[in-house]
Structure 1
Amino acid sequence: MTHARLVDTAAPSAPRGVVLVLHGGAARRKPMRVSPTQLSVLRMVPIAARIARAAKGELAVLRLLNSTRGWDAHHTPVDDVRWALGEVTARFGPDLPVGLVGHSLGGRAALLAAAEQPVVSAVALNPWVYPHEGHLDLTGRQVLLVHGDDDRVARPTSSAAVARDLARTAHVSYVTVEGGRHAMLRRHQVFDGIAAGFTAATLLGRPPHGPGAAVVERVLAGEQWLDV
């Protein structure tokens, strides 16, 4: 049983793929339901909109609102992603590729759920992860981690360790954003543009365009460690 919800950003009648946008947000002393107006949720609204624009009407873009804030050991955001994937299959059919884009704990959920079918790509923005969590088999997935070097909440060293481990099985790149902080407000165009360009390119199979396109081109060409 889940109390997660999906909110449409773009819902074309015949999409070629689906994107799930995953928010972060710290836990509270007692379980609390996610509010559509909490800052961690609102931060993903412009990212979802940027992805929809980059897709030019060819991708369904849905924001997932988790069951509860934070990361409950009994029911985690990964469980909510699995529920959302079931909803996507029921709504759009089983054959569309899915991309995951998450921030902070949402980035962690995107990585940990990337092995699910039919996920083909995952973007983790300033992901809050443990350094040992990269021991996953993500064969066939394209994975991008983007982390600000001035993030004081989620450690870039931990996400870099995860990236190195994930690279054993998946196509993984790691972009360091100079001066980027956890909330992604500083240099937000860089975070948003790279996430949108990479997701649209991996799901639609076409060259990236717009802000962040040059970085995404380098990622798709096989560069693993980039500074911007």
Structure 2
Amino acid sequence: MSHDAPPARGARLGRAAGASGPVPTVSGVVLLLPGVTRWPPGPVRPLARALARAGRAEGLVTHTVAYGGEGPREADARWAADEAVRRYGDVPVCLAGHAAGGRAALLAAGHGAVNSVLALAPSLDEAAGPDTPEPVKQLSGRQVLIVHGTNDARSAPEASLRLAARAKKANRSTCRFEVHSDGHRLRDHQAEVVALCVDFVLGALFTGRYSRPVTDALAAPPPLGLRMPLASGFGRSLRG
């Protein structure tokens, strides 16, 4: 595994959150990739807080990846995964991104340390036309969850559905949830989105177990498992 210097634009890992103690044992890492910085923040910040709380006992550490320029690239996500390996050794890594960060996470999934990818409202429609589809081979062998609001006017939900359908053919461990009437920032149903993401990340990195909706989505054939509705109140039963 190579440990390259940060890309020219100055990518870096933010402060670690999660595993605690005098000498914390890190068993898994989530690298959070926000979208383009000039837009209001999406769901990355509340997700970071929720993961730090929920994964502390498992030895989970989260880092938000900072970068210059217009936003994240595949190179930034790959560098961040290299840096996680350099700091923590041979532990599983989840790439979790929103918007352009979601696309970067999907593209960098082939990194050897990555075992799972979480893409929230990934910006795919601006990246490739019908004659140049986004690659999916790098998703093979990874756990993949895509979440998209049906009213997203900035990143087309149809684009992530097409990508998920192609990915499912190469990788059965792919599912996609639709958040009815929500927009690009997934703000209207933020609590449910965050609960879904936490359930997926902990299952992918540690337990291999998921809530019933995620299990059903992974097992269902297309298009059912790729258009799974995110139920209102998701997560309440998990806490109860």
What TM-score range do you get, normalising by the shorter chain?
Answer: 0.7 to 0.9
Show the counterpart of 1:173: 175
1:88 aligned onto 2:92: no
Q: Distance in 2 between matches of 1:205 and 1:19?
A: 15
Q: Is the deviation greater in 135-144 or in 188-197?
A: 135-144
CA offset at residue 62 of structure 1? 0.9
Local SS of the residue matching 1:133: coil
Q: Distance in 2 between matches of 1:218 and 1:56?
A: 27
CA offset at residue 143 of structure 1? 0.6
Distance 1:218-1:164 versus aligned 2 partners, 3 A rule: same
Q: Give, as a single letter, the amino acid of the residue that structure 2 aligns with 1:196.
A: V
Q: Is the deviation greater in 48-57 or in 183-192?
A: 48-57
CA offset at residue 43 of structure 1? 4.2
Which of 84, 87, 95 in structure 2 is aligned with 1:100?
95
1:216 aligned onto 2:217: no
Q: Is the 8 A contact 1:148 1:178 kept in 2?
A: yes
The runs of at least 4 aligned residues of structure 1 exceeding 6 Å deviation read: none
Q: Is the 8 A contact 1:137 1:169 kept in 2?
A: no
**TM-score of the superposed pair, with normalisation by structure 2:** 0.79
Which of 119, 130, 139 in structure 1 is aligned with 2:114?
119
Q: Is the 8 A contact 1:66 1:77 kept in 2?
A: no
Show the counterpart of 2:26: 15
Q: Distance in 1 between matches of 2:104 and 2:182?
A: 21
Q: Distance in 1 between matches of 2:37 and 2:137?
A: 24
Which of 11, 16, 24 in structure 2 is aligned with 1:4?
11
Q: Which residues of 2 match residues 7-156 of structure 1 at below 5 A? A: 7=14, 8-12=16-20, 13-25=24-36, 39-40=40-41, 43-57=43-57, 58-70=59-71, 77-93=73-89, 95-130=90-125, 132-156=133-157
Q: Give, as a single letter, the amino acid of the residue that structure 2 aligns with 1:64.
A: V
Q: Please list every run of 5 or more consecutive structure 2 residues that lacks an aligned counterpart in the other structure.
A: 1-7, 231-240
Q: Is the 8 A contact 2:9 2:69 kept in 1?
A: no
Residues 73-119 of structure 1: CA deviation (Å, up to 9, x unaligned): xxx521111111121111101x1010111111111111111111110
Q: Distance in 1 between matches of 2:29 and 2:64?
A: 11
**Coordinate RMSD, CA, aligned:** 2.0
CA offset at residue 220 of structure 1? 4.8
Q: Please list every run of 5 or more consecutive structure 1 residues that lacks an aligned counterpart in the other structure.
A: 28-37, 71-75
Identity of aligned residues (%): 31
Q: Distance in 1 between matches of 2:217 and 2:66?
A: 29
Distance 1:222-1:142 versus aligned 2 partners, 3 A rule: farther
CA offset at residue 207 of structure 1? 3.3
Show the counterpart of 2:207: 205
Q: How many residues align structurally?
A: 207
Q: Give, as a single letter, the amino acid of the residue that structure 2 aligns with 1:56.
A: R
Q: Distance in 2 between matches of 1:3 and 1:216?
A: 36
CA offset at residue 2 of structure 1? 4.2
Local SS of the residue matching 2:122: coil
Q: Is the 8 A contact 2:77 2:95 kept in 1?
A: no
Residues 115-139 of structure 1: CA deviation (Å, up to 9, x unaligned): 1111010010111114611443322
CA offset at residue 66 of structure 1? 1.9
